[in-house]
Amino acid sequence: MNSATDSDAKEDSLGDTPKDAAQGVKQARGTSSSKASSTEPSRAAIFLDREMSQIAFNWRVLAQAEDKSIPLLERLKYLCIVGSNLDEFFEVRVASLLAQNTIDGELVQHPAFLSTLKRISSECHQLTERQYELLNQEILPQLSKKGVHLLRHSERNDAQRAWVKSYFEREVRPLLTPIGLDPAHPFPQVVNKSLNFIVSLAGKDAFGRGTAIAIVKAPRVLPRIIKLPDELSVDGQSFCLLSSVIHSHIADLFNGRDVINYSQFRVTRDSDLWVDEEEVKNLRQALQGELQTRQFGAAVRLEVAKNCPEDLSRFLLEQFSLDQDRLYPVDGPVNMVRLSEIVDHVKQPSLRFPPFSAKAIGKYSHTDIFTLLRKQDILLHHPFQPFQTVIDFIRSASLDPNVVAIKQTIYRTGMNSDLMESLITAARLGKEVTVIVELMARFDEEANINWADKLQRAGAQVVYGVVGLKTHAKLALVIRREEAGVLRHYAHLGTGNYHPSTTRFYTDFGLLTAHPGIAAEVNEVFIHLTGLTKPKKLEYLWLAPFALQPQIIKAIRNEARIAREGRPGRIIAKMNALLDESVIRALYAASADGVKIDLIIRGACALRPGVPGLSENIRVRSIIGRFLEHSRIYYFRNDLAHDVHLASADWMNRNLFRRIEVAFPVLEKSLKKRIISEGLDPYLKDNVNAWVLGSDGQYERKKARSKQASFCAQQYLMQQLGSLSASEDE
């Protein structure tokens, strides 16, 4: 597993070492003397490469698929997750790099940029190759021994072949439209990530011409995984791929012609949406139009079957204007993500993780939640505690005659949502409902547009945040008229999305509170976002893009000051990614002053830990487990004040300056202790799912020492907070 060593795709990372990075400690601490600047090392010496770090994350996910202690279907699921992650990496990150370095349709031939592309290509090819090795050599054969069979044409018996042929004639062939290429039939538009076939033909067509190439598109309405009837499966369940069905009968589509060669293929395209937000009058309408063209963005990757003839792959590369480095021959389906459909079909418990469900929080279930919140805050730790409490909070507000207004941000919520239905109900009952819907939530744009339309029809006030900034903050506010006619505010603030499905496998924290200061400031944020006013000075909330980064750096520098004065300085932070250079430099400076820093960074990390003189007091680890680690926690010891902030924001430039984000304090001591004991300490003890980052950018899996007991943070939390029984845990 390799990781290169810079934080910018435009910088060449080769030639510098962590030793050189020690020279940058004065710059990290803010020294600006001419001598210091003349000896400042390259950025590659003090920052790790973003793209390589992101790819390294996928190697860690792939390690889960390699782990023989994990049930087989879960291992298959991890393979699919890697496939999905790589799709998005190419659709967004690689596409962005190419777009930034393209002039008049030609790639800039800058050595550093080309070197970056080469490193990305090398890593992604290795990763993809290992994916399919695992699929073909371990996971599919072992699933077959357990009675789950994915059958190629050569592995199907006569009865199975007869059924597949009947299925092809009945369900598939009527929907296929083979296109023979000639001047009247040019190469067709190929949809992003769709399944297609290229066919090489011999002989003459019906009109006496020698058209040599045809394209067949697989209709998207057809399932990619087809389950054979149970009576055709002797010892379990049998499946076949749609691609295999079409392969087996592709010659039937070209009557009178000889099929010489053929291959499945899939092209990945640039999928980032772009609208000129200063020019459009209606962002929703403009975005709806842009969604139609997303499927046909610039091509960035071509996948073909491993046995695809060179002339056919070369022809496809020319059609999509791609070079050889962006060709990915694969030994299996070109879209591995679709294999997750097998997981949905197979019900064998032994092939899955032991069942787990969040334990109901009994003391809240039959209590007026508003009465309870006036007495205490409620801290929820998902998925170990149910998200249903949040849904009930909004539902209670929608039906409560004393509630006069509900305000909420929506980033991701899914196509079906009880929470959104409650907001619609509230609007229909005459409450003032304001919803800030982020239309540019990547890959959730269509769902959000649909909800925005339904909410408006119900009478809710829907706004789309601030032009040019994504509204990523997770906030809900309920305003209730209570005794003596006084309006009281109740708020929910979270680290994750209002998406009931993802809360079952993302780890996140949420805080329900009636704290007058915090709840009032949540209302100020809503007024700021809807009225586009300058936000008031906030005492409790750290709001991006105005104050979040300065407040983070201020808290880091405060720990450095404490350490310089001879007292313990301590920082623990947990998030998805750490890329912002100003924050990293502040952490380097704090480390040099003696602050002990632990960072739990699931994904990309540009900080080099453990470099003498620069970051020797910083440790970085990544946790990859059953659940996706998603919570953002900032802890500063602050002379035993134990400041704890939860946030929607990672320490990335985009979160700190190009999004509306909120970090919020946890004030009750008991809840602070819970966050530390549930959200931080177990992850620092983990020696099962933890990977430790070295100063060279390499990750090494943490293992229990010879006499040390194994400890898995997520397993511990399931046992402590959830309903995973001892027998299920074995």
pLDDT in tens, 136-193: 999 999 999 999 999 999 999 999 999 999 999 999 999 999 998 887 678 998 999 9
Q: Average pLDDT of 392-396?
A: 94
The whole-number pLDDT of residue 293 equals 55
Instruction: Give the CB-side neighbour count of residue 606, counting CA atoms within 13 A.
Output: 24
Residue 506 assigned to a binding site: yes
The whole-number pLDDT of residue 375 equals 92
Angle (CA) 297-302-303 rounded to 5° is 135
Q: Average pLDDT of 677-686?
A: 98
Q: Average pLDDT of 527-550?
A: 93
The whole-number pLDDT of residue 2 equals 38
Q: pLDDT band for 196, please (50, 70, 90 cuts).
A: very high
CB 265 within 8 A of CB 306: no
Per residue in 445-479, pLDDT (tens digit) is 677 778 888 999 999 998 887 777 888 999 999 99
**CB neighbour class for 239 (10 Å; exposed up to 12, middle 13-18, buried from 19):** buried
CATH superfamily of 543-729: Endonuclease Chain A (3.30.870.10)
The whole-number pLDDT of residue 44 equals 76
Say if residue 24's pLDDT is above 50. Answer: no
The whole-number pLDDT of residue 379 equals 96
Say if residue 47's pLDDT is above 70. Answer: yes
Q: pLDDT band for 30, please (50, 70, 90 cuts).
A: very low
Tokens of 623: 């946790």
DSSP state of 485: G
Nearest to 299 by CA among 281, 330, 280, 320: 320
Residue 567 assigned to a binding site: no
Q: Average pLDDT of 308-317?
A: 96
Q: Average pLDDT of 377-394?
A: 94
Q: pLDDT band for 206, please (50, 70, 90 cuts).
A: low
Is residue 366 flagged as an active site residue? no
Q: Average pLDDT of 373-377?
A: 93
Instruction: Decide yes or no: CATH 3.30.70.890 for domain 362-536.
Output: no
Q: Average pLDDT of 653-662?
A: 94
Higher-pLDDT residue of 274, 51? 51
CB 687 within 8 A of CB 704: yes
Bridge partner residues of 314 (DSSP) = none
Radius of gyration of the chain (CA): 28
Kindly name the residue from 249, 472, 489, 499 that is annotated as catalytic: 472
- 150-351: what fold? polyphosphate kinase like (3.30.1840)
- List every span in the chain annotated with CATH 3.30.1840.10: 150-351
The whole-number pLDDT of residue 208 equals 65
The whole-number pLDDT of residue 591 equals 98
- Does this model's pTM top 0.85? My answer is yes
Residue 576 assigned to a binding site: no
Residue 602 assigned to a binding site: yes
Tokens of 264: 């499945």
Higher-pLDDT residue of 92, 523? 523
Say if residue 364's pLDDT is above 80. Answer: no
Taking the chain, what is the end-to-end CA distance rounded to the nearest angstrom? 31
- List every span in the chain annotated with CATH 3.30.870.10: 362-536, 543-729
The whole-number pLDDT of residue 271 equals 79
Stated as kind and residue range, the H or E segment containing 263 is strand 258-269
